[in-house]
Amino acid sequence: MLTYNIFRMKIKISVILLSVLLFSCKTENENTPEKKDVSNKIKVAVFSGNGASPVCVTETLEALKIDKGIAGKAIDGHDVAAGELSKFDVIIFPGGSGSKELNNLGKSGVDSIRNFVIKKGKGLIGICAGAFMTMSTDGYPSLKLSGYKQLDRPHYNRGRGLVEFSLNERGLQHFPELKNHKLFLQYYDGPVMQLKDSTKKDTSELGKFVSDIHPDNFAPAGLTLGKTFLYFQNSGNGKIAGIAGHPEATPGMRWMVPRMARLVSNKKIVKYDTFWVRPQLNDKEIFFDRALRKREKELFYDLLSDSAELQIAAMDTLYSYRSRPAVRWNIGLLRDKNPKIRKHAAYLLMQAEYSAALPDLQTALKSEADQNVKKQISRTISVLSGI
């Protein structure tokens, strides 16, 4: 009898231990974030090494999220050296300093990038500084992947603002949503590109500068007008694209980044929600000349005023100027003491499509007591989480 009872006790203990083990496994599985399957997605690397602007890296990664068929990830020079590039279909070199990005790659890294495109048949996109890198300009360290050269290197820092460009018939085939619209993008010292061999017919150009960029007469007048703004061409077995402006930083046009990723990876074009496709949002060129830069700085200090009316007026004026840094200034205003300011900051972050502010918005929502502000923050989160 004693033996039987000991046996029954052992069975009970085993059942209890098994239950605990199963419960522990269940709890762990429930609390462990589910790994996202990216096997069927276009895998896009965004270069984040020295020389790449952290803001440009963030905004490029955020723009890629508009396309559910794309998985974006930041990679550094040491990742390229470690062979991580083999896991991707496309690499994007963002704004910043092209020569510094090239330096971070090192000469062996440059060879890896060229092999990635020319031999492996993968895609590459250069945005602003990244477009400088793609070209084959004499005397300028670059990847030498495209048939373009940079013009007027002495005035590379020619200015910033919202500039106008146009697409030709080939460009509209790739970006049909932009047909019958005047087109504007953020611009920040971007390249002035021209086909290196001018005797060849240029079949790779998709768009031209319409704006003549020379604020304060720092750069020569008439140089950018009619020059290449956007190109898309073969490079060995791969495809590359270069753009002088910053679509990732332009509300209504950020979707151009994932579209370019599809082009260089030779994937089918997909449509994007109309909230993201809003070329009509920008309707005039704006150059930050000396006077406007001074005004921008004055308006920044108005954001710190004790007058809510002055703050809101400054927020709206900066938005009308399409000031790039002002978009991020609105993040700090989510933490203002005045509910009117917090609400307006959330609204402008939505209008600017600044999805990088989602962590700040989610934190603000948790502590927000004002119901009107809470409603706007919730709406902004809902819209920006749609990507």
Q: What does the domain layout of the chain look like in residue ranges?
A: 42-281, 289-384
Which pLDDT value is given to residue 35?
58
* Residues pairing with 246 in the sheet: 186
As a dihedral over the C-alpha atoms of residue 92, residue 96, residue 98, residue 100, rounded to 10 degrees, the angle is: -110
- What whole-number distance in Å separates Cα of residue 60 and Cα of residue 233? 21
Q: What is the second-level CATH architecture of the domain 289-384?
A: Alpha Horseshoe (1.25)
Would you say 64 and 257 are in contact if contact means Cβ atoms under 8 Å apart? yes
Place of tokens 């068929």: 69
Q: Does domain 42-281 have CATH number 3.40.50.880?
A: yes
Place of tokens 């083999």: 86
Would you say 370 and 339 are in contact if contact means Cβ atoms under 8 Å apart? yes
The pTM (predicted TM-score) of the whole model is 0.88
- What whole-number distance in Å separates Cα of residue 161 and Cα of residue 182? 16
Extract the tokens encoding 109: 């890294």
Would you say 246 and 124 are in contact if contact means Cβ atoms under 8 Å apart? no
How many angstroms separate the Cα of 171 from the Cα of each of 166, 174, 232? 9, 5, 9
CATH topology agreement for domains 42-281 and 289-384: no
Give the per-residue SS3 of the chain. CHHHHHHHHHHHHHHHHHHHHHHHHHHHHHHCCCCCCCCCCEEEEEECCCCECHHHHHHHHHHHCCCCCEEEEEECHHHHHCCHHHHCCEEEECCECHHHHHHHHHHHHHHHHHHHHHHCCCEEEEECHHHHHHCCCCCCCCCCCCCEEECCHHHCCCCEEEEEEEECHHHHHHCHHHCCCCEEEEEECCCCEEECCCCCCCCCEEEEECCCCCHHHCCCCCCCCCCEEEEEEEECCEEEEEECCEHHHCCCCCCHHHHHHHHHCCCCCCCCCCCCCCHHHCCCCEECCHHHHHHHHHHHHHCCCCCHHHHHHHHHHHHHCCCHHHHHHHHHHCCCCCHHHHHHHHHHHHHCCCHHHHHHHHHHHHHCCCHHHHHHHHHHHHHHCCC
Residues 6 or more apart whose CB falls under 8 angstroms from that of 118 comprise 145, 235, 236, 237, 238
Residue type, 200: K
pLDDT tens across the length of the chain (387 residues): 444 444 444 444 444 443 434 334 333 444 444 556 677 999 999 999 999 999 999 999 999 999 999 999 999 999 999 999 999 999 999 999 999 999 999 999 999 999 999 999 999 999 999 999 999 988 888 999 999 999 988 888 899 999 999 999 999 999 999 999 999 999 999 999 999 887 677 789 999 999 999 999 999 999 999 999 999 999 999 999 999 999 999 999 999 999 999 999 999 999 999 999 999 999 999 999 999 999 999 999 999 999 999 999 999 999 999 999 999 999 999 999 999 999 999 999 999 999 999 999 999 999 999 999 999 999 999 999 985
